[in-house]
Chains A and B, each alone.
Chain A
Amino acid sequence: MNSAINLENVKKTLGSREVLKGISFTVERGDIFGYLGPNGAGKTTTIRILLGLLQASLGKAYILGQDINLSETRRKVGFILEIDGLYDNMTAEENLQYYLRIYGMPKARGSIDRLLDSVGLGDRAKDRVGTYSKGMRQRLALARAMVHDPEILVLDEPTAGVDPSGQIEVRQIMLDVAHKENKTIFLSSHNLDEVQRICNRIALINRGEIELYGELESLRRDMGGGGVVIETAEAIPEPLLAELKNLPHLGLHDAKERSLIFSPQEGTEVSDIVSLLAGRGVKIEGAARKEPSLEEMYSAILKEAEPP
């Protein structure tokens, strides 16, 4: 079966600037794919290529195995762009009806009420969009993205400028859509916490190049370097610390008052370290593999990529 989205060595030059320098990645069906990067990294250009708004200078972009420039392919994609593109003078209902007609589904009007209810705008359906708050506009934009029941949603900063409670609502809608309706979501966002909470795979773009790409959990494991953090009930006595330092297979990395950080050699498990410490009379409160947060990964990658 074809992947949901597939970019193969896509390059894009605007004027004299090479905005995308040959990026490749795949989004599998059912993924909630986070697309990260600083301002000007090439996120919006990638999205525009995915939606057929810009043409790749080189390389290919496929949606469900088909050329994105075919109108039939675009019919399978719902989207939120950087600017919502809603008509302020029209009501929420009219905005959705308009898009239903554009997608050639005027008879699906009944679905509008359900959709507006699902994004919490049922009671404001007949109000002009110009009177909506930013959060309500984004929820309506999300409803518009789903109005023709697409297989893939391409969302550019859907929670940008939305207050925290609005962000939670939009995030919950995205999760519901992905899990209950089995849709693929391509989410471009600056909100790393949001991406960490809902995405299973990510790509990080910087200066037009993909710096990091893969399954979020395995990336976190890899970038954590296999570190182990042991939390203890009491401070570790100095003689014991000295003894642990002399056991190279444990790789004691750092010792704070009530926590020890190890980088164990291959073959040494968390349970081995726990048993050893327990055998020395250390009361252990917790033990876990150390995994960096997405924010830490993001900062580390960007710092690494900084020109000298």
Chain B
Amino acid sequence: MRDIGPIITTSIRNNLRSKALTISFLGLALMLVVGAVLIFCLLFVAPALEAELPGRSELELYLGLIMFITCLFGVGININVFTFLPLTREKSRGVIESLLATPLEAKDVWLGKSLALFLPGLVLGEVFTLIALIAVNYIYFVPKVGFLITPWIAISSFVAVPLIFICLSLLVHLIGLTGRPATGNVVAQIFLPVIAALMINLGSHRILDITSWPFTLTNLGIAVAVGVVVILLQPRLTKERIVLSRQE
């Protein structure tokens, strides 16, 4: 594999120069994250702390949900916002075809574009999650029960969620490069709300304990499932298919 650094840095810079997309990305991420944190804090955390002896496991569950949702939206929104337009534009304007005519291989362009989409979301998601973790702890928990965090919440939020979304980014780019970017975008648009709804319901209804290893394993399982789909589709990734798909 060749050096894909230039593709990653240039694509990130080019994406972020699109003001409308950047504002949409930051605005949506901020709205969703702040909204979710406020809802959980005001409706669940604050009332739970009013009890004489607040249950530690209950508080850990709420903190787990807050961190998980924050990371899910922080990392995922980026893929939803930036998948369609930049890829459609780059394909129709011949940017991708030009890159493929250089010494780069189709795989280099695919990985470069996928990472360029994933990395800003990763940074944003992790920063948001860290801020939420510290803020919720110091505003609500530290005065009453001390600093809360369980290793499984941390692994689910900081490792499993990014793994899911790097696989998703690879998948939507694979579909978008070898076919229509709109199809890849549909996958991304459906994936985020479905995964969010599924995991929140599993956690909040205590079907899966969000602070336990099975929840982390479930998330890793989703990442693996998406990864397997990527591996199965990867033989489609040829220069010829990418070039000809521009005319579809």
Contact = CB atoms under 8 A, between A and B. Distances in A.
25 contacts: A52-B101, A53-B101, A53-B243, A71-B2, A71-B104, A74-B102, A74-B103, A75-B102, A77-B101, A79-B98, A81-B94, A81-B98, A83-B93, A83-B97, A84-B98, A85-B96, A85-B97, A90-B10, A94-B10, A98-B6, A98-B10, A101-B6, A102-B7, A102-B104, A104-B3
Contact of B100 (A53, A75, A101): A53
Contacts of B10: 87, 90, 94, 98
Interface in B86-131: 92-105
B106 to A, nearest CB: 10
B135 to A, nearest CB: 35
Nearest to A51: B101
Contacts of B98: 79, 81, 84-85
Interface of B: 2-3, 5-7, 10, 13-14, 17-18, 92-105, 239-240, 243-244
B94 A52 contact: no
A104 B108 CA distance: 14
Given A53-B243, A54-B240, A101-B6, 20 more contacts: A52-B100, A53-B97, A53-B100, A53-B239, A54-B239, A71-B2, A74-B102, A77-B101, A81-B98, A83-B94, A83-B97, A84-B94, A85-B94, A85-B99, A87-B10, A88-B93, A90-B13, A94-B10, A102-B6, A102-B102
A88 B13 CA distance: 12
B115 to A, nearest CB: 15
Contacts of A132: none
Contact of A87 (B3, B5, B14, B244): B14
Nearest to A71: B103
A242 interface: no
A104 B239 CA distance: 21
A89 B14 contact: yes
A14 interface: yes
Interface residues of A, number: 30
Contacts of B105: 71
Interface string A171-188: 000000000000000000
B101 A81 contact: yes
Given A53-B243, A54-B240, A104-B3, A75 B103 contact: yes
A82 interface: yes
A43 B33 CA distance: 53
A55 B239 CA distance: 9
A268 B170 CA distance: 73
Nearest to A84: B94
A88 B17 CA distance: 10
B167 to A, nearest CB: 26
B97 A81 contact: yes
A83 B105 CA distance: 20
A138 B103 CA distance: 22
Interface in A51-80: 51-55, 71-72, 74-75, 77, 79
Contacts of B92: 83
A101 B2 CA distance: 11
Contacts of A83: 92-94, 97
B18 A89 contact: yes
Identify the 3 closest CB pairs spanning chains A and B, nearest first: A85-B98, A83-B94, A71-B103
A298 interface: no
A21 interface: no
A102 B103 contact: yes
Contacts of B99: 85, 102
A212 to B, nearest CB: 27
A103 B5 CA distance: 12
Contacts of B17: 89-90
Contacts of B6: 98, 101-102
B33 to A, nearest CB: 27
A75 B103 CA distance: 6
Q: Which of A75, A98, A99 has the most CB of B within 10 A?
A: A98
A271 B10 CA distance: 66
